Chains A and B, each alone.
Chain A
């Protein structure tokens, strides 16, 4: 009996084993996917790594660090499988860093149809970043050779994250977050852009990365708002920032106010915002409360920073500036009927009964008429290494 059991166990190990095993040198590691809408078909661009060119310690040849493959199909899955007609190995998508939509797809077709496959397939992660190629095809954006970061998909990902952390006009939206907003009844998604600056043809050449000043670079600077699954509007930089201020996604940024005929620039070092809903006299009111700690970074005007009253005045001015950015953004979003902030979700949390009775059915009407009230609290913490500005000192 024991021997029989042993034989069965050994058989199980040796005969059934190795299912789904793939050797590392039998697979291609994909880092980025681009989707475009061409001739009523999806055009898929897959960026795969050329490990020998990227890994440290290996001898480099003149081959590119990444290679792109393209395929068309009526559905995403079909296009993905058609890719294998050109790829030499099995595609491994577990390390996808970015998913990029072409603007045409995002505006005309809508992105929802592309996502079902990506979420359904178990190999895809759900935490990679999504962006839209601004006024361009995803195919083109992914075909630029980038300096510093050899893998352009990785460059887009870290670029989005860095610019969100230190500038605050973009948001790195991950797949799961995007899908949650997409399926939500009230919330609308946003995505950041990836812009190709410069000459596309030159950017595709190897010598793009051999120049001090590359001929083509990729830039991320704005947020685009969606209505449902369609891109409807690119925010400008101020509105994009306002959006991040309102949703509390600013970590560190720079803000300038005018004062006394010159300017003062602040570094926002700590920022926190949240909003709540209340219902008052038949009017839905959203209270936005923000708190921020700032350092004075650049003074180009005459100002006595050792005066408490003056400091208070500057603080108020900065608060006003932030409120201004936020309200601009809200006004714009209202025009396109896109509740990108999640006011609806917050209202449901704060006023559950009213939401069920009244708002649920025609939320967007309430969204358009709601009154957003801002309360920004600014605190200046450090003035930097000098007190009086150089501007002042030169005068004396």
Chain B
């Protein structure tokens, strides 16, 4: 097979395009395995038959551009030149009017462009091809965000198309210092990965680090930004995410304005943002659109939810197993009455309910939405109520699990919720073995671990540890915009002023 194809295409030397149109076309077809989406259309130049051919991959190109603006133009034109080189220049001049044009001499480049959705124009007797930018084809329209919804704030979210995503951010950052740099990662997928940052605000070392980490990736496929995230994150074995991702253009724009680097990956609506701090996961872009007092309250609520989601089941286990004296007598009586006749130890009981809940949640995510409501009925009624009535779990346990579940849905980012889901089981085990002592030891170790993490050189717990007083303006307390005049310190040390609004004069208007 191999020898056969070698024989046939022996005229192709060193990956260079041949001057024979037919040879070139055959080579392309063969290299693509005669794939059905390859379209080759022959064109006549004046009286000369088959003097030109255009090839592209169906579905990746904007067909209207090719048909209306290019094909019809070329057909209508009476080319005067007889010399193929001259002819090529003429064609090029013609196309430049409607689309970007490049030359290609190597098949390697030719295929890259072909795969990216460009069309290739080949002319007989010319040893190079013209690349016409016809990228297009169908992709999802810009739509409402689905993961980080807000009540107030822009509703549009990123889509799978890289160009649209970049445009969405560019529309928010009309600054010539918003620079983009493109990479192609994945030997098979050739996924375009673009980093974007605000020159003059971003710390150049961080950009260098991001570039270096990206260039280190040698893999055949990048299908989602999650693939990139796994390669560039600081600690592979940490349960905590050190890379932020968002579907919201405003969140990404805000991050870039703080001096972070955005990483766009073609084919996914999730854009990455580095460096990432732990507190970023407790913030929602809506915090900045609502008044500062209510945002502060909601943030405190999220911190509370963090502890509830992480520790409630373990606290329940610890207190009922080891520290009965901590509860008010009436509460203990009521708990004891509920546990009367329950066959399992508290830990097993908690484990059963937590696992059930995780199952329900996972089932709910995977199921089509039309069946999703069935799951909630089964979960809430059958499992919750029936388990209690059958005396397998105590009603208090159902309350604990529901409370935990509600709290874990509070976080604006899914990443952190996942870490908490996992750690919850660890804490439950610690509580069952050592009681509150175990919980506190575990919590201490967790904080040690958090403090040891870094994201692209920035301490993960900043501005809590190392403590930064000015950084507190945007952690639990969301300072009014008029009062927050500086960007976060550790991220960028250049050009830190972001707000120079004079305090309002509060003049009274005479009526």
Interface residues of A (CB under 8 A from B): 13-14, 16-18, 20-25, 27, 29, 31, 49, 51-52, 54-58, 92, 94-95, 97, 123, 125, 154
B333 touches A14 (CB 8 A): no
A51 touches B433 (CB 8 A): no
Contact A125:B333 (CB < 8 A) given known A14-B433, A17-B434, A18-B433: no
**Cβ of B336 < 8 Å from any Cβ of A?**
yes
CB<8 Å pairs between A and B, sample of 12: A13-B429, A16-B433, A17-B432, A23-B321, A23-B345, A24-B332, A29-B336, A31-B329, A51-B337, A54-B337, A57-B395, A95-B325
> Who on chain A is nearest to B331 by CB?
A55
> Who on chain A is nearest to B325 by CB?
A94
A54 touches B333 (CB 8 A): yes
Contact A13:B339 (CB < 8 A) given known A23-B345, A95-B329: no
B433 touches A13 (CB 8 A): yes
Residues of A contacting B: mostly: loop
Chain B interface category by residue count: 20 to 34
Chain B min CB distance to A91 (Å): 12
B429 touches A24 (CB 8 A): no
**Cβ of B340 < 8 Å from any Cβ of A?**
yes
**Cβ of B313 < 8 Å from any Cβ of A?**
no
**Cβ of B346 < 8 Å from any Cβ of A?**
yes
The answer for the CA separation of A395 and B449 in the assembled complex, in Å, is 86
Seed contacts A17-B434, A92-B324, A97-B329; 4 additional CB < 8 Å A-B pairs? A22-B324, A25-B336, A54-B334, A57-B334
The answer for the CA separation of A14 and B433 in the assembled complex, in Å, is 7
Residues of A within 8 Å of B329, CB to CB, are: 29, 31, 95, 97, 154
A22 touches B321 (CB 8 A): yes
**Cβ of B476 < 8 Å from any Cβ of A?**
no
The answer for the CA separation of A20 and B429 in the assembled complex, in Å, is 15
Contact A23:B434 (CB < 8 A) given known A51-B334, A54-B333, A97-B329: no
Residues of A within 8 Å of B435, CB to CB, are: 20-21
The answer for the CA separation of A125 and B332 in the assembled complex, in Å, is 15
Residues of A within 8 Å of B334, CB to CB, are: 51, 54-57
Across the A-B interface, the 10 shortest Cβ-Cβ residue pairs = A17-B433, A94-B325, A55-B337, A51-B337, A51-B336, A55-B334, A21-B321, A24-B339, A25-B339, A24-B336
**Cβ of B430 < 8 Å from any Cβ of A?**
yes
Of the candidates B322, B325, B339, which one forms a contact with A21 in the assembled complex, judged by CB atoms under 8 Å apart? B322
The answer for the CA separation of A94 and B340 in the assembled complex, in Å, is 19
> Who on chain A is nearest to B317 by CB?
A21
> Please, what's the 1-or-0 string for B416-435, where 1 marks a CB less than 8 Å from any CB in chain A?
00000000000001101111
Of the candidates B337, B345, B433, B438, which one forms a contact with A58 in the assembled complex, judged by CB atoms under 8 Å apart? B337
The answer for the CA separation of A54 and B332 in the assembled complex, in Å, is 11
Residues of A within 8 Å of B395, CB to CB, are: 57
Residues of B within 8 Å of A97, CB to CB, are: 329
Contact A23:B339 (CB < 8 A) given known A29-B332, A95-B325: yes
Chain B min CB distance to A282 (Å): 53
> Who on chain B is nearest to A54 by CB?
B333
Residues of B contacting A: mostly: helix
> Who on chain B is nearest to A58 by CB?
B337
> Who on chain B is nearest to A25 by CB?
B339
The answer for the CA separation of A280 and B271 in the assembled complex, in Å, is 87
Chain B min CB distance to A33 (Å): 15
The answer for the CA separation of A56 and B346 in the assembled complex, in Å, is 21
**Cβ of B320 < 8 Å from any Cβ of A?**
yes
**Cβ of B203 < 8 Å from any Cβ of A?**
no
**Cβ of B341 < 8 Å from any Cβ of A?**
yes
The answer for the CA separation of A54 and B330 in the assembled complex, in Å, is 9
Interface residues of B (CB under 8 A from A): 320-322, 324-325, 329, 332-342, 345-346, 395, 429-430, 432-435, 438
> Who on chain B is nearest to A95 by CB?
B329
A25 touches B433 (CB 8 A): no
> Who on chain B is nearest to A154 by CB?
B329
Chain A min CB distance to B82 (Å): 76
Residues of B within 8 Å of A54, CB to CB, are: 333-334, 337
Residues of A within 8 Å of B320, CB to CB, are: 23-24
A25 touches B342 (CB 8 A): yes
Residues of A within 8 Å of B325, CB to CB, are: 94-95, 123, 125
The CB with the most chain A CB atoms within 10 A, among B342, B395, B432, B434, is that of B434
The answer for the CA separation of A24 and B324 in the assembled complex, in Å, is 8
The answer for the CA separation of A58 and B335 in the assembled complex, in Å, is 11
Chain B min CB distance to A125 (Å): 7
Of the candidates A14, A25, A92, which one forms a contact with B340 in the assembled complex, judged by CB atoms under 8 Å apart? A25
Chain B min CB distance to A274 (Å): 33
Residues of B within 8 Å of A17, CB to CB, are: 432-434
The answer for the CA separation of A89 and B336 in the assembled complex, in Å, is 13
Of the candidates B335, B433, B434, B438, which one forms a contact with A24 in the assembled complex, judged by CB atoms under 8 Å apart? B335
Chain A min CB distance to B91 (Å): 65
B324 touches A27 (CB 8 A): yes
Residues of B within 8 Å of A92, CB to CB, are: 324
B336 touches A20 (CB 8 A): no
Chain A min CB distance to B431 (Å): 10
Residues of B within 8 Å of A51, CB to CB, are: 333-334, 336-337, 340
Residues of A within 8 Å of B335, CB to CB, are: 24
The CB with the most chain A CB atoms within 10 A, among B320, B332, B335, is that of B332
The answer for the CA separation of A125 and B338 in the assembled complex, in Å, is 25
Residues of A within 8 Å of B430, CB to CB, are: 13
Residues of A within 8 Å of B339, CB to CB, are: 23-25
Residues of B within 8 Å of A20, CB to CB, are: 322, 435
Chain B min CB distance to A145 (Å): 17
The answer for the CA separation of A318 and B337 in the assembled complex, in Å, is 52
Residues of A within 8 Å of B438, CB to CB, are: 13
Residues of B within 8 Å of A16, CB to CB, are: 433
The answer for the CA separation of A26 and B435 in the assembled complex, in Å, is 17
Residues of B within 8 Å of A21, CB to CB, are: 321-322, 432, 435
Residues of A within 8 Å of B346, CB to CB, are: 23-24
The answer for the CA separation of A18 and B429 in the assembled complex, in Å, is 10
The answer for the CA separation of A13 and B433 in the assembled complex, in Å, is 6
Residues of B within 8 Å of A18, CB to CB, are: 321, 432-433
Residues of A within 8 Å of B340, CB to CB, are: 25, 51-52
The answer for the CA separation of A95 and B336 in the assembled complex, in Å, is 13
Residues of A within 8 Å of B321, CB to CB, are: 18, 21-23
> Who on chain B is nearest to A28 by CB?
B336
A94 touches B336 (CB 8 A): no
Chain A min CB distance to B138 (Å): 51
Chain B min CB distance to A302 (Å): 51
Chain A min CB distance to B428 (Å): 12
Contact A29:B333 (CB < 8 A) given known A20-B322, A21-B322, A24-B324: yes
Residues of B within 8 Å of A24, CB to CB, are: 320, 324, 332, 335-336, 339, 346
Residues of A within 8 Å of B333, CB to CB, are: 29, 49, 51, 54-55
B322 touches A95 (CB 8 A): no
The answer for the CA separation of A125 and B320 in the assembled complex, in Å, is 18
